[in-house]
Amino acid sequence: MIIKPVYIEKLKEHNDEAFDYIYQMTKKGVYAVIFSIVRDYDETEDIMQDVYMKMIRSLHQYQPNTNFYNWLLQIARHSAIDYYRRKSKETTYQAEDYDQTFQSKIPDPAETDAFESMMQILDEEERMVVLLKVIDQMKHREIAKLMNKPIGTILWIYQKAMKKLKEIGGYDDDQESNL
């Protein structure tokens, strides 16, 4: 996805319409990147707000003639990883969390939301590739560039993830909208 330079310049001038345009064009990808790491809807929305604030604050660091969308997705990825690291250092359990802690890593799809069940069987890289491909409809080469990996590796990760999802019966190649 390419954001026109005119919108970036207007954003530097604090133009609300430019921000709205950029937000509408990028929100699915930003959400997908954050959710693939954090795996919590509420926290993803909070981090997403922080990402757009960071974007505005660090707009002066954006290099013209480079892919603004990839730059923004990198901010999202780093913000989500920072959150994940901070959160992983915290150890708080409530009584009802105790039982969940000792359950199988793959939850029973009958007891949980199907989407969350599917996402839990994928590792972080697989989740990110699948969400960017399916939710944000990015091309494999765009995902490869974003993740700094060869396109062959991204294709392999995507196929491996699809195989896992097919094995649990949660995904059909012809129905990407299931996710």
User: What pLDDT, in 10s, does the model give residues 52-102?
Assistant: 999 999 999 999 888 999 999 999 999 998 898 888 776 554 545 444 444
CATH code at position 125: 1.10.10.10
Domain span at residue 133?
Answer: 98-171
pLDDT of residue 103: 46
**178 located within any domain:** no
Is 120 found in the same domain as 62? no
Same-domain pairing of 51 and 7: yes
The label of the residue with tokens 């954003």 reads 11
| pLDDT mean across residues, the chain | 80
| Tokens encoding 114 | 């199907």
Q: Are residues 86 and 113 in the same domain?
A: no
Indicate whether 28 belongs to any domain: yes
Query: Whose CA is closest to 125, among 106, 143, 109?
Result: 143
Residue that terminates a domain, selected from 29, 58, 91: 91
- Residue where one domain finishes, among candidates 91, 110, 143: 91
The verdict on residue 86 lying in a domain is yes
**Which of 32, 63, 91 is the last residue in one of the domains?**
91
Which one has a higher pLDDT value, 106 or 150? 150
Q: Is the pLDDT assigned to residue 163 strictly greater than 80?
A: yes
Mean pLDDT across 142-148: 85
Q: Grade residue 104 by pLDDT with cuts at 50, 70 and 90.
A: very low
Tell me what pLDDT residue 113 has.
Answer: 60
Query: Residues 76, 104: one domain?
Result: no
Residue 82 lies in a domain: yes
What pLDDT score does 92 carry?
52
Which pLDDT tens digit goes with each residue over 9-33? Answer: 999 999 999 999 999 999 999 999 9
E strand or H helix at 37: helix 16-38
Residues contacting 150, CB < 8 A, separation 6+: 144
Q: Which two tokens stand for residue 155?
A: 């294709």
Question: How many domains are there within the chain?
Answer: 2
- 108: which 2 tokens? 């029973």
Q: Which two tokens stand for residue 122?
A: 């994928």
Q: With respect to residue 22, please indicate whether it lies within any of the assigned structural domains.
A: yes
Say which residues have a Cβ less than 8 Å from residue 70's Cβ, sequence separation at least 6. 142, 145, 146
Name which of 58, 77, 48, 75 is nearest 8 in CA terms: 58
Residue 43 near residue 82, CB atoms below 8 Å? no
143 and 83 in one domain?
Answer: no
Residue 114 pLDDT: 64
Residues 57 and 105 in one domain: no
Residues 143 and 81 in one domain: no
pLDDT band, residue 171 (cuts 50/70/90): low
Kindly state the average pLDDT of the residues 159-176.
71
- 62 and 35 in a single domain? The answer is yes
Does residue 64 sit in the same domain as residue 6?
yes
SS3 49: helix
Q: Let me know whether 10 and 73 are in one domain.
A: yes
